[in-house]
Homo-oligomer: A and B are copies of this chain.
Amino acid sequence: MSGLYLEDYTAGRVFETVPVTLNADEIIWFAELHDPQLFHTDPEAAKESAFGEHVASGFQTVAIATGQFISTGAVDGTGLGGPGMDKIRWTAPVRPGETLSTRVEILEARLTRSDPGRGVVTLGFSVETESGLVLTFEATIFVRSRAGGNAD
């Protein structure tokens, strides 16, 4: 997919993404860097933890899900960064070997008030594994509008 402009982001449009499977080594590697808690970094110690098993850091699943959306190509050359994210909810743990299937729905898309070349789009993410829903969140991004062209 080549990059989409604001005019292509219509509310209700859905993006399916390529599933990503997360193994134990990847969970440990990310957690040692960014979320060093035993239920993420140590599969054995995790059995004695509150989770009772080895589980992925929630930040890792958020990062994977946003990466899955970016990898659709939807923002290639048209994405202008984003101001924020909201309502991140980890509804169930993600275990080694599980596959993340991420669906992204356009919730809202409009021009920014200050700049006719720039639109603001709200994306609703939902991430499931074989076990069911594990994560939902909203991300807001800026994208070029066709009206604004490729000025910069």
Q: 1/0 per residue A129-143: CB within 8 Å of B?
A: 000000000000010
Query: A7-15, A57-65, A96-104, A120-128: which lies at the B interface?
Result: A57-65
- Given A35-B70, A62-B59, A66-B34: A86 in contact with B83 (beta carbons within 8 A): no
How many chain A residues touch the partner (CB < 8 A)? 39
- Given A63-B63, A67-B34: A88 in contact with B85 (beta carbons within 8 A): yes
Contact A75 B34 (CB under 8 A): no
> Does A149 interact with chain B (Cβ within 8 Å)?
no
> Does A147 interact with chain B (Cβ within 8 Å)?
no
Measured CB to CB, the nearest residue on chain B to A33 is B67
Chain B residues whose C-beta falls within 8 Å of the C-beta of A77 in the assembled complex: 38
CB-contact partner of A50 in B35, B58, B80, B93, under 8 A: B80
Report the minimum CB–CB distance from A21 to chain B (whole Å): 15
CB-contact partner of A82 in B49, B58, B71, B82, under 8 A: B58
Chain B residues whose C-beta falls within 8 Å of the C-beta of A71 in the assembled complex: 36
Chain B residues whose C-beta falls within 8 Å of the C-beta of A33 in the assembled complex: 63, 67
Question: Residues of A at under 8 Å CB distance from B?
Answer: 33-39, 49-52, 55, 58-59, 62-64, 66-67, 70-71, 75-77, 79-90, 93, 142, 152
